[in-house]
Amino acid sequence: MRIADIHRVYFIGIGGIGMSALARYFVLLGKEVCGYDKTETPLTRELSDLGMSIHYNEDIEEIPVEFRDTAHTLVVYTPAVPDSHSELVYFRDKGFDIKKRSEVLGIITKDTFCFAVAGTHGKTTTSSILAHLLRETNTPLTAFLGGISEDFNSNFLFEGDQYTVVEADEFDRSFLRLSPDIACITSVDADHLDIYGDHQSLMQSFRDFIGKLKPEGKLFIRNGLPFKGITYGIEDDSDYCIRNLRIEHGTYIFDLGTPETLLKGVKFNKPGRHNLLNGLVAFAMAVQTGAPPYRLAQALENFKGVQRRFSYKIKEEELVFIDDYAHHPTEIDAVYDAIAEMHPGKKVVAVFQPHLFSRTKDFADDFARSLQRFDVVLLLDIYPAREEPLPGISSDWLLEKIQNPRKKLIKKTNMIQEIKQENPEVLVTMGAGDIGLEITRIQSELEDAI
Q: In which element (H, E) is residue 156 found?
A: strand 154-158
**Confidence (pLDDT) at 5:** 82
Single-letter residue type at 313: K
Number of domains in the chain: 3
Q: What integer pLDDT is reported at residue 192 of this predicted model?
A: 64
Q: Assess contact for 329 and 363: CB atoms under 8 A.
A: yes
Backbone dihedral region for residue 138 (phi beyond 0: left; psi -120 to 50: alpha; all else: beta): left
Residue 29's pLDDT is what?
94
Name the helix (H) or strand (E) containing 87: helix 86-93
Q: Tens digits of per-residue pLDDT, 272-294?
A: 999 999 999 999 999 999 999 99
85 & 160 share domain = no
CATH number for the domain harbouring residue 419 = 3.90.190.20
Domain end among 70, 101, 132: 101
Beta-bridged to residue 32, according to DSSP, are: 8
Specify the pLDDT at position 193: 60
Write 390-398 long-range contacts (CB < 8 A, 24+). 390/357, 390/358, 390/361, 393/357, 393/360, 393/361, 395/354, 395/360, 397/364, 398/354, 398/360, 398/364, 398/367, 398/368
* H or E stretch at 102: helix 101-109
Domain that holds residue 193: 110-301
pLDDT at 196: 64
Backbone angles phi, psi at 283, to 5 degrees: -60, -50
Closest CA to 439 of 332, 314, 330, 319: 314
Q: Is the pLDDT of residue 14 over 90?
A: yes
pTM: 0.89
- Render pLDDT for 248-266 as a digit per residue (tens, 0 to 9): 988 999 999 999 999 999 9
Q: What is the pLDDT of residue 98?
A: 96
Residue 46 lies in a domain: yes
- The tens digit of pLDDT for each residue in 363-378 reads 999 999 999 999 999 9
pLDDT at 173: 84
Of 41, 67, 101, the last residue of a domain is: 101
- Average pLDDT of span 7-26: 95
* Residue 233: inside a domain: yes
Percent of the chain with pLDDT over 90: 88
| Binding-site residues from annotation | 119-125
| Known binding positions for ATP | 119-125
The pLDDT confidence band at residue 171, using thresholds 50, 70 and 90, is confident
Instruction: Please give the pLDDT value at position 194.
Output: 66
Euclidean distance between the first and final Cα of the chain, in Å?
A: 56
Under the banding of pLDDT at 50, 70 and 90, the label for residue 189 is confident
For residues 384 and 360, membership in a common domain is answered with yes
Q: How far apart are CA 165 and CA 167, in angstroms?
A: 7
57-85 tens-digit pLDDT: 999 999 999 999 898 899 999 888 889 99
Mean local confidence (pLDDT), 138-162: 95
